[in-house]
Structure 1
Protein backbone atom coordinates (compact mmCIF):
# COMPACT_ATOMS: atom_id res chain seq x y z
CA UNK A 1 0.00 0.00 0.00
CA UNK A 2 1.17 3.51 -0.82
CA UNK A 3 1.34 5.55 2.42
CA UNK A 4 0.00 8.63 0.61
CA UNK A 5 2.75 10.97 1.70
CA UNK A 6 2.33 12.45 -1.78
CA UNK A 7 -1.46 12.55 -1.69
CA UNK A 8 -3.53 15.65 -1.04
CA UNK A 9 -6.99 16.50 0.25
CA UNK A 10 -9.43 18.06 -2.21
CA UNK A 11 -11.92 20.79 -1.47
CA UNK A 12 -15.56 19.88 -1.97
CA UNK A 13 -15.74 22.48 -4.74
CA UNK A 14 -13.06 20.53 -6.67
CA UNK A 15 -15.69 17.98 -7.72
CA UNK A 16 -18.71 18.27 -10.02
CA UNK A 17 -22.06 16.75 -9.11
CA UNK A 18 -23.54 13.96 -11.18
CA UNK A 19 -27.21 14.25 -10.18
CA UNK A 20 -27.11 16.90 -7.43
CA UNK A 21 -28.61 15.80 -4.11
CA UNK A 22 -31.53 17.40 -2.29
CA UNK A 23 -28.99 19.29 -0.18
CA UNK A 24 -25.22 19.51 0.13
CA UNK A 25 -23.86 21.85 2.78
CA UNK A 26 -20.44 22.33 4.31
CA UNK A 27 -19.96 22.21 8.07
CA UNK A 28 -16.38 23.25 8.69
CA UNK A 29 -14.23 20.88 6.63
CA UNK A 30 -17.04 18.34 6.20
CA UNK A 31 -19.76 17.94 3.56
CA UNK A 32 -23.23 16.86 4.67
CA UNK A 33 -25.31 15.42 1.83
CA UNK A 34 -29.04 14.63 1.88
CA UNK A 35 -30.35 12.28 -0.81
CA UNK A 36 -33.34 12.71 -3.07
CA UNK A 37 -36.17 10.17 -3.11
CA UNK A 38 -35.45 6.67 -4.43
CA UNK A 39 -32.07 7.33 -6.02
CA UNK A 40 -29.73 4.55 -7.16
CA UNK A 41 -27.07 3.33 -9.59
CA UNK A 42 -27.83 -0.08 -11.16
CA UNK A 43 -28.05 -1.72 -14.59
CA UNK A 44 -30.42 -4.60 -15.27
CA UNK A 45 -28.97 -7.70 -13.56
CA UNK A 46 -31.41 -9.54 -11.34
CA UNK A 47 -33.81 -6.62 -10.98
CA UNK A 48 -34.57 -5.83 -14.62
CA UNK A 49 -34.30 -2.05 -14.34
CA UNK A 50 -31.73 0.66 -15.07
CA UNK A 51 -31.18 3.43 -12.52
CA UNK A 52 -28.64 6.19 -12.95
CA UNK A 53 -29.89 8.94 -10.64
CA UNK A 54 -27.76 8.48 -7.51
CA UNK A 55 -25.54 11.33 -6.32
CA UNK A 56 -21.79 11.44 -7.01
CA UNK A 57 -19.28 14.26 -6.61
CA UNK A 58 -16.63 13.51 -9.24
CA UNK A 59 -13.16 14.67 -10.19
CA UNK A 60 -10.75 13.27 -12.78
CA UNK A 61 -9.07 9.93 -12.00
CA UNK A 62 -6.05 9.48 -14.25
CA UNK A 63 -4.10 6.27 -14.76
CA UNK A 64 -1.79 5.58 -11.84
CA UNK A 65 -3.86 7.50 -9.31
CA UNK A 66 -6.31 6.73 -6.53
CA UNK A 67 -9.13 8.39 -4.63
CA UNK A 68 -10.03 8.03 -0.95
CA UNK A 69 -13.30 9.03 0.69
CA UNK A 70 -14.13 8.92 4.41
CA UNK A 71 -17.70 9.19 5.66
CA UNK A 72 -20.09 8.68 8.55
CA UNK A 73 -23.61 7.49 7.88
CA UNK A 74 -26.64 6.27 9.79
CA UNK A 75 -27.78 3.58 7.37
CA UNK A 76 -31.10 2.22 8.58
CA UNK A 77 -33.27 1.61 5.51
CA UNK A 78 -32.85 -1.18 2.95
CA UNK A 79 -30.25 -0.30 0.30
CA UNK A 80 -29.09 2.97 1.94
CA UNK A 81 -25.51 3.32 0.67
CA UNK A 82 -22.43 5.53 0.48
CA UNK A 83 -18.81 5.28 -0.60
CA UNK A 84 -16.72 5.88 -3.74
CA UNK A 85 -17.76 5.88 -7.39
CA UNK A 86 -15.41 5.47 -10.36
CA UNK A 87 -17.23 6.38 -13.56
CA UNK A 88 -16.45 6.31 -17.26
CA UNK A 89 -20.04 6.67 -18.51
CA UNK A 90 -23.57 5.43 -17.77
CA UNK A 91 -22.68 1.85 -18.76
CA UNK A 92 -19.19 1.61 -17.27
CA UNK A 93 -18.70 2.40 -13.59
CA UNK A 94 -17.86 1.03 -10.15
CA UNK A 95 -19.42 1.94 -6.83
CA UNK A 96 -17.99 0.64 -3.57
CA UNK A 97 -18.68 1.28 0.07
CA UNK A 98 -21.21 0.37 2.74
CA UNK A 99 -24.83 -0.58 2.07
CA UNK A 100 -27.68 -1.60 4.34
CA UNK A 101 -29.10 -4.97 3.38
CA UNK A 102 -30.47 -8.01 5.23
CA UNK A 103 -30.76 -5.88 8.35
CA UNK A 104 -27.06 -4.99 8.68
CA UNK A 105 -24.42 -2.82 7.01
CA UNK A 106 -22.43 -4.65 4.34
CA UNK A 107 -19.18 -3.64 2.67
CA UNK A 108 -19.17 -4.34 -1.03
CA UNK A 109 -18.90 -3.20 -4.60
CA UNK A 110 -20.94 -3.08 -7.79
CA UNK A 111 -18.91 -3.32 -11.01
CA UNK A 112 -20.84 -2.39 -14.14
CA UNK A 113 -19.83 -3.04 -17.72
CA UNK A 114 -23.13 -2.87 -19.58
CA UNK A 115 -24.79 -4.79 -16.75
CA UNK A 116 -24.10 -4.71 -13.01
CA UNK A 117 -22.74 -7.34 -10.66
CA UNK A 118 -22.66 -7.06 -6.87
CA UNK A 119 -20.48 -8.55 -4.15
CA UNK A 120 -20.77 -7.88 -0.42
CA UNK A 121 -19.95 -9.07 3.10
CA UNK A 122 -21.61 -8.15 6.40
CA UNK A 123 -19.84 -5.64 8.66
CA UNK A 124 -22.25 -5.02 11.56
CA UNK A 125 -19.31 -3.83 13.66
CA UNK A 126 -18.86 -0.87 11.29
CA UNK A 127 -22.24 0.66 12.19
CA UNK A 128 -21.84 4.24 13.40
CA UNK A 129 -18.10 4.37 12.66
CA UNK A 130 -16.08 6.38 10.16
CA UNK A 131 -15.39 4.31 7.03
CA UNK A 132 -12.74 5.01 4.39
CA UNK A 133 -12.88 3.58 0.87
CA UNK A 134 -9.96 3.75 -1.57
CA UNK A 135 -10.21 3.07 -5.31
CA UNK A 136 -6.80 2.81 -7.02
CA UNK A 137 -6.42 2.82 -10.80
CA UNK A 138 -3.37 1.02 -12.14
CA UNK A 139 -2.81 -0.62 -15.52
CA UNK A 140 -6.02 -2.28 -16.65
CA UNK A 141 -7.65 -2.51 -13.22
CA UNK A 142 -9.18 -0.72 -10.28
CA UNK A 143 -8.41 -2.08 -6.82
CA UNK A 144 -10.92 -1.21 -4.11
CA UNK A 145 -10.05 -1.33 -0.41
CA UNK A 146 -12.03 -0.25 2.65
CA UNK A 147 -11.61 0.00 6.40
CA UNK A 148 -13.37 1.27 9.47
CA UNK A 149 -11.48 3.71 11.68
CA UNK A 150 -8.62 2.03 13.51
CA UNK A 151 -8.77 -1.19 11.49
CA UNK A 152 -6.49 -2.53 8.73
CA UNK A 153 -7.46 -2.26 5.09
CA UNK A 154 -9.60 -4.98 3.54
CA UNK A 155 -9.42 -5.70 -0.17
CA UNK A 156 -12.96 -5.47 -1.55
CA UNK A 157 -12.63 -5.81 -5.31
CA UNK A 158 -10.26 -6.07 -8.24
CA UNK A 159 -12.11 -5.21 -11.44
CA UNK A 160 -11.15 -4.27 -15.01
CA UNK A 161 -11.03 -0.73 -16.34
CA UNK A 162 -9.87 0.16 -19.85
CA UNK A 163 -6.47 1.79 -19.34
CA UNK A 164 -7.27 4.32 -22.05
CA UNK A 165 -10.66 5.33 -20.64
CA UNK A 166 -11.29 8.83 -19.31
CA UNK A 167 -12.62 8.27 -15.79
CA UNK A 168 -13.77 10.38 -12.86
CA UNK A 169 -14.16 9.43 -9.21
CA UNK A 170 -15.35 10.68 -5.85
CA UNK A 171 -17.89 10.27 -3.06
CA UNK A 172 -21.32 8.87 -3.86
CA UNK A 173 -24.53 8.12 -1.99
CA UNK A 174 -28.07 7.04 -2.74
CA UNK A 175 -31.22 5.77 -1.07
CA UNK A 176 -33.23 3.47 -3.35
CA UNK A 177 -36.14 3.05 -0.91
CA UNK A 178 -36.59 6.56 0.48
CA UNK A 179 -35.59 10.21 0.53
CA UNK A 180 -33.57 11.98 3.18
CA UNK A 181 -30.58 9.74 3.84
CA UNK A 182 -27.90 11.99 5.33
CA UNK A 183 -24.21 11.25 4.80
CA UNK A 184 -21.39 13.19 6.45
CA UNK A 185 -18.33 13.07 4.19
CA UNK A 186 -15.25 14.03 6.19
CA UNK A 187 -12.43 13.57 3.66
CA UNK A 188 -11.96 13.52 -0.12
CA UNK A 189 -8.38 12.93 -1.25
CA UNK A 190 -6.40 11.86 -4.28
CA UNK A 191 -2.92 10.40 -4.54
CA UNK A 192 -0.80 7.77 -6.28
CA UNK A 193 -2.20 4.30 -6.91
CA UNK A 194 -1.02 1.41 -4.77
CA UNK A 195 2.29 -0.01 -5.98
CA UNK A 196 1.18 -3.63 -5.63
CA UNK A 197 -1.98 -5.64 -5.28
CA UNK A 198 -1.12 -7.13 -1.90
CA UNK A 199 0.33 -5.10 0.97
Structure 2
Protein backbone atom coordinates (compact mmCIF):
# COMPACT_ATOMS: atom_id res chain seq x y z
CA UNK A 1 0.00 0.00 0.00
CA UNK A 2 1.36 3.43 -0.96
CA UNK A 3 0.75 6.82 0.65
CA UNK A 4 -2.16 7.62 -1.69
CA UNK A 5 -3.99 4.37 -0.87
CA UNK A 6 -3.03 2.58 -4.08
CA UNK A 7 -1.80 -0.99 -4.12
CA UNK A 8 0.94 -2.20 -6.47
CA UNK A 9 -0.27 -5.32 -8.26
CA UNK A 10 2.03 -8.26 -8.90
CA UNK A 11 2.11 -9.20 -12.57
CA UNK A 12 0.77 -12.63 -11.62
CA UNK A 13 -2.45 -10.99 -10.33
CA UNK A 14 -3.81 -10.62 -13.86
CA UNK A 15 -5.00 -12.88 -16.66
CA UNK A 16 -4.24 -12.28 -20.33
CA UNK A 17 -7.09 -11.57 -22.74
CA UNK A 18 -4.79 -12.82 -25.52
CA UNK A 19 -1.41 -14.17 -24.45
CA UNK A 20 1.58 -12.30 -25.91
CA UNK A 21 4.49 -13.92 -27.72
CA UNK A 22 6.41 -13.66 -24.43
CA UNK A 23 6.03 -12.09 -20.99
CA UNK A 24 9.14 -12.15 -18.83
CA UNK A 25 9.86 -10.75 -15.38
CA UNK A 26 12.94 -8.52 -15.34
CA UNK A 27 13.45 -7.55 -11.73
CA UNK A 28 10.25 -5.69 -10.82
CA UNK A 29 9.47 -4.95 -14.50
CA UNK A 30 7.53 -7.04 -17.01
CA UNK A 31 8.83 -7.32 -20.59
CA UNK A 32 6.02 -8.11 -23.01
CA UNK A 33 6.58 -9.11 -26.65
CA UNK A 34 3.53 -8.36 -28.79
CA UNK A 35 2.38 -10.52 -31.67
CA UNK A 36 2.51 -9.03 -35.15
CA UNK A 37 -0.97 -7.89 -36.18
CA UNK A 38 -2.35 -7.69 -32.63
CA UNK A 39 -4.81 -4.85 -32.07
CA UNK A 40 -8.03 -3.70 -30.40
CA UNK A 41 -10.62 -1.95 -32.58
CA UNK A 42 -14.28 -2.32 -33.62
CA UNK A 43 -15.66 -1.20 -36.98
CA UNK A 44 -15.45 2.59 -37.12
CA UNK A 45 -13.89 4.04 -40.28
CA UNK A 46 -11.64 1.01 -40.91
CA UNK A 47 -14.46 -1.53 -41.13
CA UNK A 48 -12.68 -4.33 -39.25
CA UNK A 49 -12.83 -5.88 -35.79
CA UNK A 50 -9.65 -6.78 -33.92
CA UNK A 51 -9.85 -8.19 -30.41
CA UNK A 52 -6.43 -9.71 -29.83
CA UNK A 53 -4.48 -6.99 -28.02
CA UNK A 54 -2.45 -8.32 -25.09
CA UNK A 55 -4.17 -7.05 -21.94
CA UNK A 56 -3.23 -8.31 -18.46
CA UNK A 57 -6.41 -7.69 -16.48
CA UNK A 58 -7.67 -7.90 -12.91
CA UNK A 59 -10.81 -6.62 -11.19
CA UNK A 60 -11.24 -2.84 -11.06
CA UNK A 61 -13.13 -1.05 -8.28
CA UNK A 62 -11.78 2.50 -8.57
CA UNK A 63 -8.62 3.58 -10.35
CA UNK A 64 -5.85 1.81 -12.23
CA UNK A 65 -2.39 3.14 -13.05
CA UNK A 66 0.16 1.64 -15.45
CA UNK A 67 3.73 2.85 -16.06
CA UNK A 68 5.81 1.80 -19.07
CA UNK A 69 8.70 2.97 -21.26
CA UNK A 70 7.93 4.64 -24.58
CA UNK A 71 10.73 2.84 -26.39
CA UNK A 72 8.93 2.11 -29.66
CA UNK A 73 8.85 3.89 -33.01
CA UNK A 74 6.94 1.86 -35.58
CA UNK A 75 3.52 2.80 -36.97
CA UNK A 76 0.73 1.98 -34.48
CA UNK A 77 3.03 0.43 -31.83
CA UNK A 78 1.13 1.05 -28.58
CA UNK A 79 1.06 0.46 -24.84
CA UNK A 80 -0.92 1.65 -21.87
CA UNK A 81 -3.91 0.42 -19.91
CA UNK A 82 -7.20 -1.22 -20.79
CA UNK A 83 -10.57 -1.31 -19.02
CA UNK A 84 -12.74 -4.12 -20.31
CA UNK A 85 -16.30 -5.19 -19.61
CA UNK A 86 -16.61 -7.35 -22.73
CA UNK A 87 -15.80 -7.62 -26.43
CA UNK A 88 -17.93 -4.58 -27.29
CA UNK A 89 -17.39 -2.50 -24.14
CA UNK A 90 -13.84 -1.39 -23.37
CA UNK A 91 -11.42 1.52 -23.19
CA UNK A 92 -7.74 1.60 -23.99
CA UNK A 93 -5.52 4.59 -23.19
CA UNK A 94 -1.81 5.22 -23.50
CA UNK A 95 0.79 6.09 -26.07
CA UNK A 96 0.58 5.03 -29.71
CA UNK A 97 3.22 5.75 -32.33
CA UNK A 98 1.39 7.28 -35.27
CA UNK A 99 2.39 9.53 -38.16
CA UNK A 100 6.01 9.74 -37.08
CA UNK A 101 5.58 10.61 -33.38
CA UNK A 102 4.32 9.26 -30.06
CA UNK A 103 0.70 10.27 -29.47
CA UNK A 104 -1.15 10.18 -26.14
CA UNK A 105 -4.74 9.17 -26.53
CA UNK A 106 -7.65 6.89 -25.88
CA UNK A 107 -10.05 4.60 -27.71
CA UNK A 108 -13.50 4.16 -26.18
CA UNK A 109 -15.55 1.28 -27.55
CA UNK A 110 -19.27 1.00 -26.89
CA UNK A 111 -20.23 -1.26 -29.76
CA UNK A 112 -18.04 0.83 -32.08
CA UNK A 113 -14.65 2.39 -31.45
CA UNK A 114 -13.62 6.04 -31.47
CA UNK A 115 -10.10 7.46 -31.25
CA UNK A 116 -8.61 10.65 -29.88
CA UNK A 117 -4.89 11.50 -29.88
CA UNK A 118 -2.51 14.40 -29.31
CA UNK A 119 1.18 14.41 -30.30
CA UNK A 120 3.74 14.12 -27.48
CA UNK A 121 7.07 13.90 -29.33
CA UNK A 122 8.99 14.81 -26.16
CA UNK A 123 7.70 11.60 -24.48
CA UNK A 124 9.84 9.38 -26.73
CA UNK A 125 12.29 7.31 -24.69
CA UNK A 126 10.69 8.25 -21.36
CA UNK A 127 8.67 6.48 -18.68
CA UNK A 128 4.96 7.27 -19.07
CA UNK A 129 2.24 6.69 -16.49
CA UNK A 130 -1.40 6.42 -17.54
CA UNK A 131 -4.18 6.56 -14.95
CA UNK A 132 -7.87 5.76 -15.39
CA UNK A 133 -10.36 6.47 -12.63
CA UNK A 134 -13.89 5.08 -12.79
CA UNK A 135 -16.71 6.69 -10.83
CA UNK A 136 -20.43 6.62 -11.60
CA UNK A 137 -20.97 6.76 -15.35
CA UNK A 138 -17.52 8.09 -16.27
CA UNK A 139 -13.89 7.11 -16.68
CA UNK A 140 -11.35 9.91 -16.34
CA UNK A 141 -8.03 9.27 -18.08
CA UNK A 142 -4.83 11.14 -17.22
CA UNK A 143 -1.22 10.65 -18.32
CA UNK A 144 2.23 12.03 -17.65
CA UNK A 145 5.87 11.52 -18.59
CA UNK A 146 8.33 10.80 -15.77
CA UNK A 147 7.35 12.90 -12.73
CA UNK A 148 5.65 15.73 -14.60
CA UNK A 149 2.10 16.67 -13.52
CA UNK A 150 -0.69 14.51 -14.88
CA UNK A 151 -2.58 15.97 -17.83
CA UNK A 152 -6.20 15.24 -18.62
CA UNK A 153 -6.56 12.99 -21.68
CA UNK A 154 -10.25 12.14 -21.70
CA UNK A 155 -13.47 12.01 -19.71
CA UNK A 156 -15.60 9.25 -21.24
CA UNK A 157 -19.01 7.79 -20.54
CA UNK A 158 -18.82 4.15 -19.48
CA UNK A 159 -21.71 1.92 -18.37
CA UNK A 160 -22.02 2.43 -14.60
CA UNK A 161 -23.37 -1.07 -13.93
CA UNK A 162 -20.73 -2.95 -15.95
CA UNK A 163 -18.29 -5.27 -14.18
CA UNK A 164 -14.87 -4.11 -15.32
CA UNK A 165 -11.39 -5.58 -15.36
CA UNK A 166 -8.33 -3.41 -15.95
CA UNK A 167 -4.56 -3.51 -16.32
CA UNK A 168 -1.65 -3.03 -18.72
CA UNK A 169 -1.97 -3.72 -22.44
CA UNK A 170 0.11 -3.50 -25.61
CA UNK A 171 -0.19 -4.48 -29.26
CA UNK A 172 1.68 -4.21 -32.54
CA UNK A 173 -0.73 -3.90 -35.48
CA UNK A 174 1.92 -3.54 -38.20
CA UNK A 175 5.06 -5.44 -37.21
CA UNK A 176 6.76 -8.20 -35.25
CA UNK A 177 9.28 -7.65 -32.49
CA UNK A 178 7.66 -4.99 -30.32
CA UNK A 179 8.83 -5.41 -26.71
CA UNK A 180 7.29 -3.15 -24.06
CA UNK A 181 8.83 -2.68 -20.62
CA UNK A 182 6.05 -2.25 -18.07
CA UNK A 183 7.32 -0.67 -14.85
CA UNK A 184 4.29 -0.66 -12.56
CA UNK A 185 0.65 -1.67 -12.25
CA UNK A 186 -1.35 -0.28 -9.34
CA UNK A 187 -4.99 -0.02 -8.30
CA UNK A 188 -6.67 2.15 -5.73
CA UNK A 189 -9.59 4.38 -4.86
CA UNK A 190 -11.25 6.49 -7.54
CA UNK A 191 -10.05 10.09 -7.90
CA UNK A 192 -12.13 12.63 -6.00
CA UNK A 193 -11.90 15.43 -8.56
CA UNK A 194 -11.68 15.88 -12.33
CA UNK A 195 -9.07 18.64 -12.15
TM over 0.5: yes
SS at match of 1:94: strand
SS at match of 1:79: coil
Cα 1:21–1:44, aligned 2, differ >3 Å: closer, same or farther? same
Preserved contact between residue 73 and residue 182 of structure 1 (Cα < 8 Å): no
What residue in structure 2 maps to residue 52 of structure 1? 51
Matches within 5 A, 1:1-199: 5-62=4-61, 65-198=62-195
With normalisation by structure 1, the TM-score equals 0.95
| Misfit runs of 4+, over 2 Å | none
- Distance in 2, matches of 1:39 and 1:74, equals 18
- Distance in 2, matches of 1:152 and 1:49, equals 36
Gaps of 5+ in 2: none
SS at match of 2:122: helix
Preserved contact between residue 64 and residue 133 of structure 2 (Cα < 8 Å): yes
- Distance in 2, matches of 1:54 and 1:4, equals 32
SS at match of 2:80: strand
- Distance in 2, matches of 1:126 and 1:54, equals 23
- Count of equivalent residues: 194
CA RMSD of the aligned region, Å? 1.0
Deviation at 1:73, TM superposition (A): 3.1
Deviation at 1:138, TM superposition (A): 0.5
Superposed CA offset, 1:44-96 (max 9, x none): 1110100001100000012xx10000001322110000000000000010000
Deviation at 1:149, TM superposition (A): 0.4
